[in-house]
Chain A
Amino acid sequence: MTTRSTYRSTATPKRKNQGFSRRAFLGSIGASAALAPFIPMLESQADEGVGPKRLVLLFSPNGTLHERWAPTGTADDFQLGEILAPLEDYKDQMIVLDGLEVIRQGLGDGHQKGMACLWTGNQLNAGDFGGGNGGSAGWAGAASIDQAIADAIGGETAYRSLEFGVQNGGPTNWSRMIYGGSDSPIAAENSPEAMFDRLFADLGVDTTALDQLKAERRSVLDLVHNDLAALEAKYSSSDKAKISAHLEAIRAIERRNDLATPTCESPEQDYEFNFDANENFPAVSRLMIDQMVMSLACDLTRVASLQWSRSVSQTEFNWVGAGRHHDLSHLGDEDGEMISQVTAINRWYSEEVKYLLDAMAAVPEGDGTMLDNSIVVWGNELSRGNSHGNRPVPFVTFGGGCGALQTGRHLTFDNEPHNRMLVALAQAMDVDMQTFGNNDPGSGGLAGLFS
């Protein structure tokens, strides 16, 4: 395997909302926002002793190398492998889940099913994406676990959930992992600038102008709501679900429009680059992590996810001396260059997870930190790239979820369906659930996670 040279980005130097930006819009109607540097704050919650409980899902693609990922030692006394080594500081906050199987049934190739089943635990619908195995696969057939949890707890915050993405690619079942329901993939925002505008542009705007804007939006949303409700009543076919989903989104935006603007200061960031260019993958990752932590710290949401690339990712990791990820991951185990480069790639993802955990641990809440009050789960669509396997898929959790989880452990399982981990996550988030997804009719949450 030769080391490939650097590819020149051929995309435009900066891709953004060329027609407009929300900040420009606010400025033009007379509202002006004062941007301030990022100051982690959530003082009201901090005073209460225990912050709100959050769930964060993380995804990195193309499998791992189990022999370099798995810890050695016992459940309570273990040593991290090379790939997870960057997370040494968080050993007492983690649970390594070794030996889970992501059950795959029905339509789709390994990547498609791995991606769609990862958080839904459910089969894919038929559709137009190809993918073999006796038919052509479509979108996932049910909601993902974070959305099921958001259904239960999302009403507490401005956003029921937020989806952050780094170069996820176009809308296909190879590139979407979060689902609001059957045939309802939820796209992550991939533009740090657009995400910033969405979350923070309204903050700090002078209240008179903002009040006027909210009144206008209330009236606009009312009309849209009425049109959608009228349409929904007319439809009875499968298209009805599309109208209902749109109406659901309008309701969420209406609710947010009626909330008081959070007291929260926005991070100041530089977006003067093309967020789609391979070379900017690390920079976009950091910007998205910063914004995600800020949105959690400000209690804009309690359910978030961050998706790095997509299944069959071809991110070229020249910053760690590695080539295109999917190509590499396919090479045989005898290929020493594959082993070292795939290790380097997965270690890089561990570094990004550490950056996230550092930021969460830097937000004080009560006697501890935001990390203590959160559950972060890191998964993958495959066990290993060159086998496209579904067991053991590498999962690690971080944070105690306000004491729900007993952390600092390395648990091994004998191909336990990962659906049970999803159930356990819901239970740890105080959502009453006994089964999740149609890939595992079993019952109850994964044993051994809880305090």
Chain B
Amino acid sequence: MYNQPSPLEVPVLTRRFRLPNSHKIDTYLANEGYQAFEKAIGMSQDDIINEVKASGLRGRGGAGFPTGMKWSFVPRQSPKPKYIIVNGDESEPGTCKDRLLMEFDPHQLIEGILIAGLAVGAHQGYIYIRGEFRYLIEHMDRAIDEAYARGYLGDNILGRGIKFHLATHSGAGAYECGEESALLESFEGKRGNPRIRPPFPAVAGAYSCPTVLNNVETYCAVPSIILKGAAYFAGLGSPKNGGTRLFCLSGHVNKPGVYELPMGFNLMRLINEVGGGVRGGKKLKAVIPGGSSCPVLKADECDLNLDFDTVAAAKSMLGSGGVVVMDEDTCMVKAALRIMRFYAHESCGWCIPCREGTTWLRKVLQRFHDGQGVKSDIVLIGDLSRNMLGRTFCPLGDAAAMPTIAFVEKFRDEFEAHLDGKPCPYEKKLVAA
């Protein structure tokens, strides 16, 4: 079981989570399970795609690309097989929702995949699961076995002449493989380096075949859209941001956890009303709104609605829904260092700016935090980040650069407080407390 629910939640994707044996197919079938799929069988491919388009569903992996539009890029006529691939490589720091979706309602994911298969005419799907989620791979395998046993997967699904096969595929522990083209390389058994795009996966994805590749949460939203209609789903959220979203609230809050809330939910309400406020009655200092790659927001910037467009207008990103709350005792240099340590460790090494830039920044930030910083380092940190920004092969470089730039720009005073051999002021405070 995970965190206690909040009364403010709107459970759509998570509505079965708290049922006993929620992961079993019987529980699923008794609670609207596979009804959307049966409905979709009666729909045309265009109807399914249009329904998803109308729902305003946007990719839950981080980029927020409209899902229906992505599906419509898959060529209808193709001599090659088509594939449905699920990005279950959840590894953005601060994000922990896909694991719950797979753990508590695996059949919802399978049903979403099946509907995607119908929409684009694919007969084979793969769930690429982060290697560290070993238990989840076995868990999903059992759910897939159940679906086969009950006729929801196979050569002749429900006796309706529909063919669809599904299998899991284990990642090997690289953050980079959450990037869709690197995931495909890894999936094909190669080193997880990103690919040159175009072509995009919809045209040439797995084994150069047309491929639909979405996040776990994105597929999980599909059955509700088909079953209850696009209007229902769109109506849950804010304009152009259909539905609900699983927000992963972590950091210095009283009630951290994963909460399903409508798109466009206010960030301050998330912290104070859903999360029970900042831990220990401390003052809020900053929030990372969508996982470690999103620029940090200062406390006074946090009164905003959590939808893709509003957060983007605030020069950050909604990302993967990982909301990291930091209180007044948090050292922002250390936060920047912690994040850069992650990216330097996870850079795949393919392109020069990311490979060398992340490592250099990690070293500078480490030295800086250790009290060995000089004033020119502050300029250097910003400079190096900007020299990576927009110049790397894949978005990992941007993901490392953007938050760093924000940390330096928004908390320059904290960087200056570390200068000239001074020890970190926050480390001291912790000791005193």
**Do A and B interact with each other, yes or no?**
no
Residue positions of B touching A, CB distance < 8 A: none
Task: Identify the A interface with B (CB < 8 A).
Answer: none
